[in-house]
Structure formats: structure tokens, C-alpha cells
Amino acid sequence: MLVEKGEKPFRAKQIYEWLWTKNAHTFDEMTSISKELRNMLSDNFVINPISIEEHQKSSDGTIKNAVQLFDGNVVESVLIPTENRTTACVSSQVGCSLNCSFCATAKLKRMRNLSVAEIVDQVALIDRQSRSDFNRPLSNIVFMGMGEPLLNFANVVEAIRKITAPHPNGLGMSPKRITVSTSGIPKMIEKLADEDLRVGLALSLHTAIEKKRNEIMPFSDKFPLEDIIKSLQYWYQKTRSRITLEYIIWKDINDTQKDIEALIDFCKKVPVKVNLIEYNSIGDEHFQQAAPEVTNAYIQALEKNGIVVNVRRSRGKDIDAACGQLANKNKLNPIIN
């Protein structure tokens, strides 16, 4: 179209750079191209940028953004600062496709998948916040916000390619600093391995006992643990990247010796490390944080078996920005009753 309008082919590259590297939200921002061309683009095309509807900052420095999309839907993204890095927790769906009973996001109806641009825009937005609030660029990205990333597969993969593409074609971030978290869709885990993105993979496991997992994550009855193990083995075979298991310990749910032994057995079947995550309440009394001695029992047993284990303390709990708490309170997305 540009050539047909008498423009040089390199103009297309300039426009691409403005959109995907400089994250221009209007054609008027594209100052390296003529005003006539900017007017022509405005007459024929539309840019649908995201905008911050609400911005909250936790006492620990964590920032939560309620991000409004062009159609009025809202998702949440989080900037998590530590002494040495800043991490963006980004969303991939409006609501969620799954039904994990301990997660606030799962109570939201899935409205739609986010586009490639909406995902990249979240990262660019948080990078700007990191630079302005903490004087350093964004260092890490986790796809652990709203939604199941592997059920928006094509857009998430293309967004990662845009994020990791070198300047001027992308944001130039290292794929080794990106982690895709999934609740466990075996075929899609294998498909992700085939993409050769060089990103990390995290699995929300929470119990290695099939019956219990199906109770707290009802969708998982379609995805047996045996199939998940095979997909993780395939992932490691293709990528040589060790998987992170995300694991919350709840009182009277997965706090027994049998649960510990099941997790150890699972870990012996595929190269993993385990993150024991502090539980963040969503107001359901059925789910309560297990006693500290139970967490210590897990740690001792895992370490005794040569399994790397870390305890992750939640950030941003006072603004409902911690894992499992993203639910657009008082926002526009309908909640399933």
C-alpha cells in the first residue's frame, strides 16, 4: 500500500519500528515520517493502545496496573521490584479458561484472548514504570497474570518473538529471562517446546496426587499427571531447560507425608526445581496456609532427595497483586457465580 501511494519501501520498516519497538500509540508520534503520510495512516488505520485505568502501589514497592483494553475489558499486570531486578507479571487472557478453585482469576468469565499487541504493550508499559520508579529497565517477565497462556498459544508465542527480537524489530529482551507458566496442558507444552523460544517453563502443580489435583483444579481430569510428566520429559529433551514446579501447601489438603512422597516421586521423573509458594487468600475458608512445620517437612524431604527447593514469599498482597489474587475487583469483567 505504501508503494502504491508513492512512498519508499523503507517507510514500512520505520512504521514497524514505531509500533513494535517504540510502542507508539498514535500516528502523530511517528515523527520520522512525513505529516502527509501520518495523515494517510490515520485515515486508513487504527491503533488500539492499552491504557492504565487504575494504578496501585504496595508497601513493598510492587505496582499493580488495571489495564483497560480498546473494547472496555480490563486485565491486570504487575511490576515486582527486588534489589537486583524488576519482573513483569503479564496477563494473556481477559478472565481465564480454567477453573482452579483456589484462584481469584478463575472466578472471572473468560471473555477473550489478548492480542499480540496487547501482550507486548503490557511489557512496554511495565518497562517504562521500572525505568521511572526504580531507575532501571525491566529485567524479567513471567506469564503468570490473568489467563492460561497456552490456551492463547499463537498470540503468546508471537508476543514473545516480538519481545525478544533485537532492536529495531522488537524490545530486545533475553528469552532466558522469560517464564511461561501453565496449569498443565500436555499437548501445548510439547508444542511450546517445538517453538524453540529458549524461554523457561513453570507448571502449577500443587499436588502430585491425581484425585486431589482433580478436586482443586477440576479441569485437570482431562489431563492426567502421567500425560503431563511425558510432556515435561519432552520439554526437557527438546530444550534442556529444567522445569519449575509451582506448589502451594494448604492445611488439610496437601499437608501430609503422603503428599510429600508423591511430590518427590513426581520430581524424580523429570528434571525440575520446586518453588513452594505462600498462599494468598481469596476469601475461601476451605483454603488456608499450612503450618510452617509442614513447609519445613517438605523442604527437608526434597533436599534429602537432591531436589532444589525455594520458598517464595508473596509480594503486593496488600493491593491484591500477589499470585492468584488478580481478579479485577470492581472492574468490568463479569464474575462467574
Catalytic residues: 76, 323
Residue located via cell numbers 499487541:
117
Strands 63-68 and 74-81: antiparallel
Three-state SS for 168? coil
* Helices and strands (DSSP H and E) totals, the chain: 9, 12
238: left (phi over 0), alpha (psi -120 to 50) or beta: alpha
- Is the peptide bond prior to 168 cis by the omega test (within 30 degrees of 0)? yes
Locus of grid cell 498482597: 317
Select from 220, 299, 279, 288 the least CA-distant residue to 253: 288
88: phi then psi, degrees, rounded to nearest 5? -100, 125
Which residues contact residue 44 at a Cβ distance below 8 angstroms, ignoring those fewer than 6 apart? 1
As beta bridge partners, residue 75 has: 67
Cβ atoms of residues 91 and 102 within 8 Å: no
Question: CA-to-CA distance for 217 and 164, rounded, in angstroms?
Answer: 32
DSSP H or E segment with residue 39: helix 35-44
Yes or no: say if 76 and 118 are a contact pair by the CB < 8 Å rule: no
* DSSP codes joined into one string, 276-301: EE-----S-TT--BPPHHHHHHHHHH
